[in-house]
Structure 1
Amino acid sequence: MAVEAGDYILWENMDFASVRTVFDAGPLPEVFEIVRIPEGLRWSEMAERLIEENPAFEWEDLEAAYVSLVREASYLPDEAPVRSLEGMLFPATYDINADDLADEHGFLLRLSDEFDRRFARLLQDPGLHPDIVELGLAPYDVIIVASLIEEEALVSEDRAKIARVIYNRLAEGWRLDVDATACYAAAKSCADLTSADITRDSPWNTRVVTGLPPTPISAPGEASLEAALQPADGDWMFYVRTDEGGVRGAHRFSVTYEEHLENVQVCRERGYC
């Protein structure tokens, strides 16, 4: 049996027939580019990142591939008011072989399939928390919540608590008041947000409207998806950054508005509000 030179994937205790099948298929394609997509990017930011990391990609072709894949999105409801893949392209590190450097559609399909695979697994285990079912939320709503968590949580330990605050506010009919949604509505970095942006009338701005925004606002990672599916138990209605416990980026959570005002004062004293 002639074996072509190159890289192959074998594993322990393979039988001869399986080894032969691998060798007959030929070596793995040469990896030409490594593309790293961090959590929390909007689609516009992700597209810019892809072009930076793989100059063979073209903006127009990425947009065309994106629009095409929206029609195949597994978790986008038919009745969704906005047709978008936002939040459903999984952030991770991907390799691109030499033959696929200019295949924008194929690459975005990989990101979409990877999201579907991971989210489907999480829907099975740990599954939907009973409180989410009681609120009547669909899997797509959970993805939206996960995107909010991705933008709000600065430390992993806060993710499930922030999820609980979001669900508690939805249950009470309160505005979510998530600043990151105002940033998304204004198409700005949160560092550049103005007071006018915070009051901007937009279905994405939860500082103005009640309920969830119509789409995710970023690409959530697996930790945020899991937190959205399984929020922590608690009655919290508020949170604010205080670097709680000396942990940089950690939030302090509260049940009452009076407690929250005290925590906001701590936030101001520490220069975060």
Structure 2
Amino acid sequence: MFLSEDQNQHSEEGSFKEQIMRALEEGRNNRDVDATKKTRTTNRTSKKEAKNNDENDLASSYERLFGNKKKMDEKAVAKQSEITAKDTPTKERVPLVDKSVPSATESIPKSSGHSKRELKQEEKIKKNTTAAKEQQREPSIEASRKAGAVSADSKKMMNSNLSAENKEGKAKETSKTSQMNEEEPSIFHRISEKFEELHHMEDDYEGDLSEESNLKRAERRKEDRVVRKIVYILTIGILIVAGVLAISGYNYVSAGLKPLDRNDKKLVQVEVPSGSSNRQIGDILEDGDVIRDGMVFNFYTKFKNLTNFQAGYYQFSPNMTLDQISKELQQGGSAEPLDDASKLTIPEGYDVDQIASLVAKKTDFKKEDFIKVIKDDKFFDQLKAQYPDLLTDAGNAKDVRYRLEGYLFPATYNVHKSKSLEDLVTQMVDTTNQVLTPYYSQIKEKGMTVQEVMTLASLVEKEGVTQSDRKNIAQVFFNRIATGMPLQSDISILYALGEHKEFVYNKDLEVDSPYNLYKNTGYGPGPFDNPSQEAILAVLDPTDNDYVYFVADISTGKVYYAKTYEEHMELVEKYVNKDK
């Protein structure tokens, strides 16, 4: 009976160790699975919580298993004490309590578990230990069985030997139990070390992840900087290109609005078919070298709301503005092609008498008929009502020879047989109005009348050749008027004489006429000829100077200026009287 209990105890110890190993291995596997899942789905804080939960689970398993083991050990010790108590006096009975085994309430060291290889090796060692212990107990069992066959007299001896063996076995069990208890903490110590290694590995892994994340962030920042630089460069490039295109477009449109060539008065004949649109007319004019760009002409006419262009044959010159061309297109062209006989070009600076002679030469109209139309007060009133801004001041002027002098703009006109002299004169006046329309407000700001502007422009037209000289001469006239000096222009003397000659003599300066600006101060009655647009602009925008005299070299046309009469006479002797 006692032997079977020992065997049961050993078998219980073996099974208990196996349970421990299985529990450790199961806990290890569970922790590996949980650690893998938690690493993928939780953050760093949740990992720490998972770690504490694993340790708590291990502590619970340890307490459950080792609590049972303690109870089993206590039962085994109690049974062994009962066996020993039969052969040992009461005083020697000492309860066998192994204090090296931790109780269920004691704290369990934190560990991370064994690897499968270590668990297998420890299981193998424990099995070998159990087998060796059983082999040591087999001789005692055999001896006890043999002793059962001897006589009753030797039974006491056998009991005595058995008691000794039991004591010896008890001592061995105690030492083996101590050894196991010493081994068990070492196992959990290794488990704790493994947990620490795992913790370090986790920290290293987290460090690697953090370093990798930092590298990725650095690369993203670098890429962002590169992208920003590219976007910045592209934006600057687009703005520069847009600016260049805008400036180029503005310059192109501005150039398209100006005459193609202000100095080219050659007439170009074009045909405008019936039903032509503004765009088609612009293309026709561009192809005929009349304007710079047909598209600009189309935009201009739409912006100005210019419509009702008539079909027919027209003669335009490259020095004409878009507004002048548009006006002629509205008046209508010829039904038949025009020849040289139908073209009438009025030169700049021609007066009424010269224009009348040219009309008589180029058309079937007579000079006297043309002068009659110019002197017709009724016809003038009709024109004044049609062009009030242009002719009101001329209508109020006194002592004028021709009220329309200065308002017959020098240009090329088409003289058709179907047109009358009134139509031709109206066309000339209309052209002058087109030229002055942009400057009416400026004339009022300068405190001048249209009649005064046209009068000075008619003098500047004949006195100067270049635009620079015209602007300087206009300022000289303004300086003389400001000081009360007479303008003293030879042009006024020739007009007063009604002659066209190269030189003016002293006796000519005595002519009795309101147009004699040697005797009379101010502007005089009115214009002395029909000035060009350049002469008009020179009066409206003169060059500032303090000269009051000027003289032109007849051979070269160059103009010299002086501030005093003495300087002026020296220039006259040097450049005018040198050949006399």
TM-score (norm 1): 0.81
Asked which structure has the greater RCO (Cα within 8 Å, sep 6+), the reply is 1
Aligned length: 249
Query: How far apart are residue 193 of structure 1 and its match?
Result: 4.0
Preserved contact between residue 359 and residue 367 of structure 2 (Cα < 8 Å)? no
Partner residue, 2:343:
34
What is the deviation of 1:98? Answer: 4.4
Choose the corresponding residue for 1:239, options 520, 526, 550: 550
Q: Paired residue for 1:58, among 366, 370, 387?
A: 366
**1:200 partner amino acid:** V
Instruction: Please state how far the C-alpha of 1:270 moved relative to its aligned partner.
Output: 4.2
Q: 1:250, 1:235 → 2: CA distance?
A: 19
Equivalent pair of 1:238/1:253 in contact (CA under 8 Å): yes
Post-superposition shift, 1:203?
0.9
Query: What is the correspondence of 1:189-204 to structure 2 with a 5 Å cutoff?
Result: 189-191=500-502, 193-204=504-515
> Which segments of 5 or more consecutive residues in structure 1 lack a partner in the other structure?
1-5
Task: Structure 2: give runs of 5+ residues left out of the alignment.
Answer: 1-270, 284-294, 314-333, 385-389
Give the deviation of 1:220 after TM superposition: 0.3
Q: Hey, what does 2:421 align to over in structure 1?
A: 104
Matched AA of 2:448 = L
Q: Which residue in 2 is equivalent to 1:3?
A: none
Are residues 51 and 256 of structure 1, via their aligned partners in 2, closer, same or farther at CA, if it must alter by over 3 Å?
A: same
Runs of 4+ in 1 over 6 A off after TM superposition: none
Shift of 1:265: 2.2
Asked whether 1:94 is paired with 2:413, we answer yes
Larger Rg: 2
Q: Is the 8 A contact 1:242 1:270 kept in 2?
A: no
Aligned twin of 2:484: 173
Measure, in 1, the Cα distance between the counterparts of 2:311 and 2:347.
32
Asked if 1:75 is matched to 2:406, the reply is: no
TM-score when normalising by structure 2: 0.40
Q: Does the aligned pair in 2 maintain the 1:87–1:218 contact within 8 Å?
A: yes
Determine the C-alpha separation between the residues in 1 that align with 2:577 and 2:505. 21
**C-alpha root-mean-square deviation of aligned residues, in Å?**
2.7
Aligned letter for 2:425?
Answer: L
* Cα pair distance change 1:129/1:228, threshold 3 Å: farther
> CA distance change for structure 1 residues 44 and 27 in 2, over 3 Å: closer, same or farther?
closer
Greater mean deviation of Cα atoms: 89-98 or 200-209: 89-98
| TM-aligned CA deviation for residue 26 of structure 1 | 5.1
State the partner residue of 1:11. 282
Q: Distance in 2 between matches of 1:123 and 1:212?
A: 19
> What residue identity is the alignment partner of 1:236?
Y
How many angstroms apart in 2 are the aligned matches of 1:182 and 1:144?
14
CA distance, structure 2, for counterparts of residue 172 and residue 97 of structure 1: 50
Partner of 2:563: 255
CA drift of 1:187 comes to: 0.5
Q: Secondary structure at the match of 2:551?
A: strand
Tell me, yes or no, if the aligned pair for 1:69 and 1:109 is still in contact at 8 Å: no
What residue number does 2:437 align with? 120
Partner SS for 2:550: strand
Percent same amino acid among aligned pairs? 27
Picking from 84, 104, 119, the partner of 2:403 is 84
Alignment partner of 1:57: what SS? coil
Letter in 2 for 1:87: G
> CA offset at residue 22 of structure 1?
8.4
The worse-fitting range, judged by mean Cα deviation, of 106-115 and 199-208 is: 199-208
